[in-house]
Amino acid sequence: MLLVLAWAPDGFAQEATLDFLPIRPFSFDVALRQQSFGPDDREIGIQAGFTALRYGDLEVRAIYQFFSIHSEEFKTDQHSVYLNPRWNNFIDVLDFPKQKPLNRIIRHVLFGPLEDRAVPYIGLLAGATMPGPGHNAPGHLIGGQIGARFPVARGLAVDIGLQYTQYGIDFRGEGGQAQQWLFTTGVRF
């Protein structure tokens, strides 16, 4: 019996493995921004990130984000660095009832003919932004996101997401809390 258990091929069990710094997927995004504190303005920003840790459908991404606002009245730059733990395919926990699983119905309604290719995710955001309140230390950055990744070719995917962020910033010498909604679309390699 012991010999049979030791001989079992790898195909019998597919457990998740912990990957430290798998790097891929790495990403580049274009972000549309509307901010509620400081400059009440809309701008376009850039963000880039990579996968720092992966375990099955869970992953932690490291992201750098830059926004630059230039107007006749002022100029300001914001730099943010944060971690983004994500749960991919979170809809699959609704794999019941057996006849018509809820996750299949939700995937069909949301993604139509791409339901088997889409990778929906939810995530949290935690990090820092510069300049922080008072211009003497980084400000906090917290938030959440929901989105979907659509693989289009081997090693290439399109990602669409909605992200809410709250952070402490300094604007024209005044410290405060900003809230930001981002709709991002980008590619993952």
Radius of gyration of the chain (CA): 20
Residues in Cβ contact with 182 at an 8 Å cutoff, skipping those fewer than 6 apart: 31, 32, 33, 161, 162, 163, 164, 165
- Which residues of the chain are modeled with pLDDT < 70? 1-14, 31-42, 70-72
Predicted pLDDT of residue 44: 74
The pLDDT, as a whole number, for residue 69 is 75
Task: Write the DSSP symbol of residue 107.
Answer: H
Q: 65 to each of 7, 47, 90, 124, 125, how far by Cα in Å?
A: 49, 4, 25, 15, 12
Instruction: State the pLDDT at residue 36.
Output: 65
CA distance 42 to 36: 10
Q: Walk me through the domains of the chain, giving residue ranges and CATH numbers.
A: 23-188 (2.40.160.20)
Burial classification of residue 180, based on how many CB atoms lie within 10 Å of its CB (0-12 exposed, 13-18 middle, 19 or more buried): buried
pLDDT for the residue numbered 161: 93
C-alpha distance from residue 89 to each of 76, 104, 117 (Å) = 38, 12, 11
Question: CB–CB of 39/71 below 8 Å?
Answer: yes
* CA pair distance 30, 2, nearest whole angstrom: 56
Q: What is the length of the chain?
A: 189
33 vs 47: CA distance, rounded Å: 12
CA distance readout (Å), 82 to 24, 128, 148, 164: 17, 6, 20, 13
pTM comes to 0.81
